[in-house]
Structures are given as C-alpha cells and as structure tokens.
Structure 1
Amino acid sequence: MIRIVDYGVGNIQAFLTMFKRLGLEASRARAAHDLEGATRLVLPGVGAFDHAMTLLNQSGMRPRLEEMVMAQRVPVIGICVGMQMLAGGSDEGVLPGLNWVPGRVKAFATTPASQALPMPHMGWNDLRVRPGNKLFTDFEPEPRFYFLHSYYFDAQDKADVAATAEYGLDFDCIVSKGHIHGVQCHPEKSHHFGAQLLKNFAEL
C-alpha cells in the first residue's frame, strides 16, 4: 500500500488520481496510525521550506516516518518541497530538515550562473539521467518534466544524484540514496513521464 503523507501541504488528490490511473492502491495518511501497513511512502510539498517542516513536525507523523524510513527502510519519495525536506537544511529558512539525504537547499537567485534568469524556474525541462537508476527503467533518453521552484537541492555526495537539469547551472533535480528518493520536478504534472516515474517507484 502506498501512503501519501498529508501534513497540510501538497496536492494529495493529484497523486491519488495518478496512482488510481496506474492501477496502484494508494491512500492519504493524516496521522501516525494511518502510516501503518505502508510499503511505499510519498512525501509531497509546496511553498516555503520552514512552513512545510513546521507542519510536518506538528502533524505527529514525523517520529513514525523516521522509524519507518530509517529503521525499517520503507521506500520513500519526496516531491518538490518534499524533496528539499530530505536535506539537512535550506537557505530559504532556519529550521533543520530531515537530513535523510545529506545536502543543502540553495537559492537560484544567489547563484551567479542563474541569478539573472526569471524566478521561479517554471515550465518543462530536460533531465540528464545517470545510468542504472531504477526510477528511470523504460524511459527514453532525456525525459521532460515540469518544474516550479526557486530553490534547488545541492547533494553533499554526488553519488546520490540520479538526474540533473540545467537552469543557468546544472542542478541536482533527482536524488536516490538507497531506498530514499527525491524529485524536484512535479511528476503529477508531467504526463506520461511522471506516471512512469511513479510506477517505477511503486515497483522498486
């Protein structure tokens, strides 16, 4: 069973609809007891980093999520701000992140290569996928995904980077560290590319 963590931000219904179209059983989790029985976890997120972290911390689900992901090794995928929350922290705020994938979230606006570009980074962009990652099984070269963000994940260990995209600089847009995955793009808005990625995640 796929559980989508509903802590107050993120388009939960869009993911439920996409998983239903894929023929995959999924439900939302609003409390710790709703997480029981999960074989896959989806951590969505939109908006500001500190706001999302505050809501997750207040939800009562974080301790159980930590146990499931870090001790029981239940596969998880963070999406958009949900990916950024996997880092140790963000330049957008002051709160610590989950630190499940070591790294720091940085602003495009403070990066010389991209600071003159329109913000946010919005629209379709090609991904440069590193070979061998199972999230990209049955994908064509350089798949296109939809983005909407002003901050990007900078992985501490580049071996954790599964794909990059270019917006002034090559930035880490998908990370995979064992059973922990994060995608900066929006698979729920990325048509067949997004559907295939979520299907692959469910089948890992």
Structure 2
Amino acid sequence: MIGILDYGMGNLHSVCSALKRLHVPYIVSSNHDELRQSNGIILPGVGAFRDAMVCLKRDGHIAFLREYAESKPMLGICLGMQLLFDESEENGLTPGLSLLKGRVIRFTGSDVMRETYKVPHMGWNHLDFKKPESPLLQGLSEDYAYFVHSYYVMTSDESLLIATAGYHVEVPAIVGKGHVFGTQFHPEKSGPSGLAILKNFCSLAQGGVRT
C-alpha cells in the first residue's frame, strides 16, 4: 500500500487517479499511525514553498517524514520534491526538510546572453537520463515530461541527479538518494513514461524493484 500525505497543499486528485489506473492500493491520510503502515509515501505539492512548510510544521509532519525516510521510500512531486531540500528562496529564505542537499531558487528569466525567457517553465521537456540504472527508470528510455514551475533546485551534489531537463539552465528533473526520490515534473500528467516512473516507485516501495 502507498500512503499519500494530505497536508492541505497537494495535487491529491491527479495522484490518486494515476494510482487507480496503475491498480496500486493507496490511502490518503494525515494520520501518522496510518501512514506508517504504508510501504512508501508520496509527498505531493502545489503552491508556495513557505506555505507548505508552515502546514507541515503545524501538523507535526516534519519529524515524521524525516523518520519515515530513514527506512522506507518517499517520492516528492513538483513542490513536494522541492520540500525535500535544505531551503528555498521563495517568498524569503525558508528551511525545508533537509533530506537532500540543495537550495530552491527562481528562474532568472534571462540567460547568459541576456536573452529573456518565460517564467514559469511550463510544458513538455526532454529528460536527459543521468542514472539510467536507477530503479525509477527501469524499462524506460529517454522521453518527455510535463513541467509547471517557477523555481528549481540548485545542488552541488551531482550524485542526486537521476535525470535533468534543459530550460536555459540544467534543471534537476528526477532526484534521489537512499530512500528519498523526487520529480520536478508531474509524472501523473506526463503520459505513459510518467506513469511508468510512478509505477516503478510503487514497485520499489513494495519490494518489486531493488536499488
């Protein structure tokens, strides 16, 4: 069973619909005792980093998530992925869960040649696999995924990068270390490849895929 953390800022409907299509049993809950019974947790997210951390702190989820990630798989999606990192500069510097090393920063809107580009980054972008051996990428070849975000992760730890996407800078698209994984894009909105990544995570959580 997969647990989906309901903390008030998640794209719950689309994630639940995807798991139903994959025939994966799941629960949506904010109760820690219930979530501890799951094989893996999905941390969804839509909205602002600071607001999400306020919600997580208010309901005592921060310590729970850190404890859970020590022994069981966790997948952050979009904002949920960003929350896994040390901090974000969105609406003022805000500490994150610090499960992965890095800072969330805003696209500048202009490149090194001072050419402007649109923010947010919205649409389909090619995934460049950095670690094709990752359990999240089993059975997949490089494909496209659907992104909607104005902030991205900047990290000096290249070992975290499972896949990247190019949008005037190198954007960490899939990250992972130990039991902790994240996708900057929405796998549930990224066609067959996105669903395959989500299925691979569920298989990993249920013991069907080994790291």
After TM superposition, the structure 1 = structure 2 runs for residues 155-194 of structure 1, keeping only pairs within 5 Å, are 155-194=155-194
Deviation at 1:61, TM superposition (A): 2.5
User: In structure 1, what is the Cα distance between the partners aligned to 2:106 and 2:23?
Assistant: 37
> In structure 1, how many angstroms separate the alpha carbons of the residues matched to 2:188 and 2:122?
15
Does 2:18 match 1:3? no
**Letter aligned with residue 167 of structure 2:** Y
Tell me the residue number matched to 2:208: none
The whole-number CA distance in structure 2 between the counterparts of 1:64 and 1:177 is: 18
The answer (yes or no) to whether the contact 2:77–2:186 under 8 Å persists in 1 is yes
Residue matched to 1:77: 75
Sequence identity of aligned pairs in percent? 41
Aligned counterparts of 1:201 and 1:170: Cα–Cα separation in 2: 24
Q: Secondary structure at the match of 2:13?
A: helix
Runs of 5+ in structure 1 lacking a partner? none
2:135 aligned residue: 134
The answer as to 2:115 corresponding to 1:122 is no
Residue pair 1:108, 1:115 contacting (<8 A) in 2 also: no
Distance 1:59 1:115, change over 3 A: farther
Amino acid at match of 1:145: A
With the length of structure 1 as denominator, give the TM-score of the two structures.
0.93
Superposed CA deviations along residues 117-174 of structure 1, whole A, max 9, x for unmatched, are 111000111000122111111112x211100001101223101100110001122111
Q: From 87, 90, 104, give the equivalent of 2:88.
A: 90
Q: Which residue of the partner structure matches residue 195 of structure 1?
A: 195
Q: In 2, Cα distance between the equivalents of 1:23 and 1:154? A: 35
- Kindly indicate whether the alpha-carbon contact (under 8 Å) linking 1:109 and 1:150 is maintained by their aligned counterparts in 2: no
Q: Is the 8 A contact 1:31 1:59 kept in 2?
A: no
* Contact residue 5 and residue 41 of structure 2 kept, 8 A: yes
Length, aligned pairs only: 201
2:53 is aligned with 1:53 = yes
Q: Deviations over 1:50-96 (max 9, x none)?
A: 011111111222222221112xx210010101110111001113221
- 8 Å contact from structure 1 (residues 163, 172) kept in 2: yes
Distance 2:32 2:60 in 1: 6
TM-score, length of structure 2 as denominator length: 0.90
Q: Any conservation in 2 of the 1:101–1:155 contact (CA below 8 Å)? A: no
For residue 154 of structure 2, what is the aligned residue in structure 1?
154
Equivalent in the alignment of 1:104: 103
Note closer, same or farther for the CA distance 1:88–1:115 as it changes in structure 2 (3 Å cut). farther
Q: Which one-letter code corresponds to 1:54 in the other structure?
A: V
CA offset at residue 47 of structure 1?
1.0
Task: Give, as a single letter, the amino acid of the residue that structure 2 aligns with 1:157.
Answer: D
Residue 111 to residue 75, structure 1, CA distance change in 2 (3 Å): farther
CA 1:128 to 1:58, structure 2 compared with 1: closer, same or farther past 3 Å? same
Q: What amino acid sits opposite 2:27 in the alignment?
A: S
Q: Secondary structure at the match of 2:174?
A: strand
